[in-house]
Amino acid sequence: MATAAETTPKTDFDAIVVGAGFSGMYMLYRLRDLGFSVRVFEAGDGVGGTWYWNRYPGARCDSESYYYCYSFSKELLDEWEWSERYPAQPEVLQYLNHVADRFHLRPDIQLNTRVVSAVFDDASGRWKVTTDDGKRYTATYFITAVGCLSTANLPHYEGLEEFQGTWYHTGQWRHEPVVFTGQRVGLIGTGASGIQATPEIAKQAAHLYVFQRTPNYATPSGNRPMRPEEIREIKAHYDEIWKKARESMGGFPFDSIEKSALEVSPEERRRIYEERWQQGSFRFLNSFSDLLVNKEANDTIAQFVRDKIHEIVKDPKVADLLSPTNHPYGTKRPPLNTGYYETFNRENVTLVDIRNAPIVRITPTGIQTTENTYELDSIVFATGFDAMTGTLLKIDIRGRNELTLKEKWADGPRTYLGLAIHGFPNMFTITGPGSPSVLSNMPVSIEQHVDWIADCLAYLRAQGIARIEATQHAEEIWVAHVNQVADQTLFPLANSWYIGANIPGKPRVFMPYVGGVGNYRKICDAVAAKHYEGFEMAQAIAI
């Protein structure tokens, strides 16, 4: 007969982790392997994180499958085979479910549970976590694995509640099939999700209206099925692939380029661009070493893309509208596309310029701009996310002396290494603001962060340390360094979600670290090697 202790659900843990995507599942794997008790809370009814929520037509990874995966298990690498060069959402989700089953992670993951608050208790030195069902939990460590792009951004449109058709957001897509056959569809937004969804919706809709405020540079993915001999070659050289990825600028296993775009003749430069355009992938941005730091060099690749758009799109006026001119290439994450520009040659697709004729309101039957009214059956909002900070700030997180994270970040996010926050002891943020995160191949950055946190917690346990907190001085130095490195690049020239420009009222602060994945790893390793330099630690309860 079970005792009361055996039947009462456990509410106290060594660590509580928020989110069961790539980050949360690997964090669980590492900490459990070290003997820590862990509970992962996940808002969805399945694992997968962003790949659970983003099910819109055309949703596909923009990193190649063979390195958009975990590297921690040789057995997992050997047994899993990707079907395509760039896996579609269902396959990535299938992979993550396979990982959850293979490593028996599900018993420690609590689904359909949203964390609403996490409060650090000064007296006990523990985190008190409350979920949306009113239940309370405690833990020594509070770790956020909520993802950088997980809180959907739905701009305010007057009249939306009166729309008589159906509307969708790409970041919160319905799980049941959505069919647009025979419908008049309006799609708002031409970021990565809009660029992926446009060709797929156009294949179904009677007519698709794409409402564009800012044109985007989109380069071809070159997607295709993976060949058996290619898979064998990759698996035989995974050690080299991961080494190259971890030491690279963006976490991609590409050979570094030391040549300036201005060192070669125009003919040679165009040949290189053309070769990499045909290859697909982020290798195109890696064509020369100075494309993100030298405006004159960047102008050459930006013009190449604009020329390509005009080659593909038959109507010169439409091609002009689709050609970006207000930001350097690559200073917004350049989406990969499959037939995006070609879609505007279809008779059932219309590009609507809402920069010069903005949307006035949503009507009961469509969208009204300052110039026209468009009758629609469905509206798709491909309006992106409140990136990097949005999901964290939706949780009522309070550190020492009831300091809220909203108060702490009122003028923009401040962290040490993107991993820790002064005033919030025993809290860690996986791929938080101030880390390479969204500017990198995410699994590489995620594994680096998780490994660093796991090693740190093992160190604290071995030393009998009860509390760790980033110092204000270390945080200030890191924030200054992040800004200094960004200012040496062209990134600040773009009005992008990297600086929160897509969210009204959000402080304009450049959030990712652009100093490179390899360099960032060295910095983090050096901090750990110096017994966690920049952190205050205490064996007693109070610091």
pLDDT for 530 equals 98
- Tell me 156's DSSP state: -
pLDDT above 60 for 3: no
Cβ contact 140:133 at 8 Å = no
- Tell me 437's DSSP state: G
| Confidence band for 523, pLDDT divided at 50, 70 and 90 | very high
Specify the domain boundaries for CATH 3.50.50.60 within the chain.
10-151+387-538
β-strands 378-381, 184-188 pairing: parallel
Q: Percentage of residues in the chain with pLDDT exceeding 90?
A: 89
Helices (H), 464-516: 472-487
Phi/psi at 117 (nearest 5 deg)? -150, 150
User: What is the average pLDDT across 307-332?
Assistant: 97
Helices (H), 237-383: 238-247, 266-279, 295-312, 316-322, 340-343
Residue 502: name the closest of 335, 392, 404, 390 by CA. Answer: 390
pLDDT for 255 equals 86
Instruction: Report the SS3 class of residue 100.
Output: helix
Residue 4 CB-density burial (10 A; 0-12 exposed, 13-18 middle, 19+ buried): exposed
In this structure, what token pair is assigned to residue 496? 């992008």
User: What is the average pLDDT across 206-210?
Assistant: 98
Among all chains, which residue has been given the structure tokens 């460590």?
141
Q: How far apart are CA 98 and CA 51, in angstroms?
A: 13
Helix 238-247 and helix 442-463, axial crossing angle in degrees, nearest 10: 80
Fold of 10-151+387-538: FAD/NAD(P)-binding domain (3.50.50)
| Confidence band for 7, pLDDT divided at 50, 70 and 90 | low
pLDDT above 70 for 540: no
In this structure, what token pair is assigned to residue 297? 């060099």
Q: How far apart are CA 47 and CA 17, in angstroms?
A: 13
Among all chains, which residue has been given the structure tokens 């310029």?
353
pLDDT above 60 for 335: yes
pLDDT for 502 equals 82
Instruction: Report the SS3 class of residue 127.
Output: strand
Residue 17 CB coordination number (10 Å): 32
β-strands 136-144, 427-429 pairing: parallel
Express each pLDDT in 61-108 by its tens digit. Answer: 999 999 999 999 999 999 999 999 999 999 999 999 999 999 999 999
Amino acid at site 176: E
Cβ contact 16:108 at 8 Å = no
Q: How far apart are CA 82 and CA 65, in angstroms?
A: 6
Helical (H) or strand (E) element with 141: strand 136-144
Q: How far apart are CA 383 and CA 174, in angstroms?
A: 16
Helical (H) or strand (E) element with 110: strand 109-110
- Widest pairwise Cα distance in the chain: 82
Between 357 and 387, the higher pLDDT residue: 357
Phi/psi at 472 (nearest 5 deg)? -65, -40
Instruction: Look over the chain and give the mean of its residue pLDDT values, rounded to a whole number.
Output: 94
pLDDT above 60 for 161: yes
In this structure, what token pair is assigned to residue 261? 């775009």
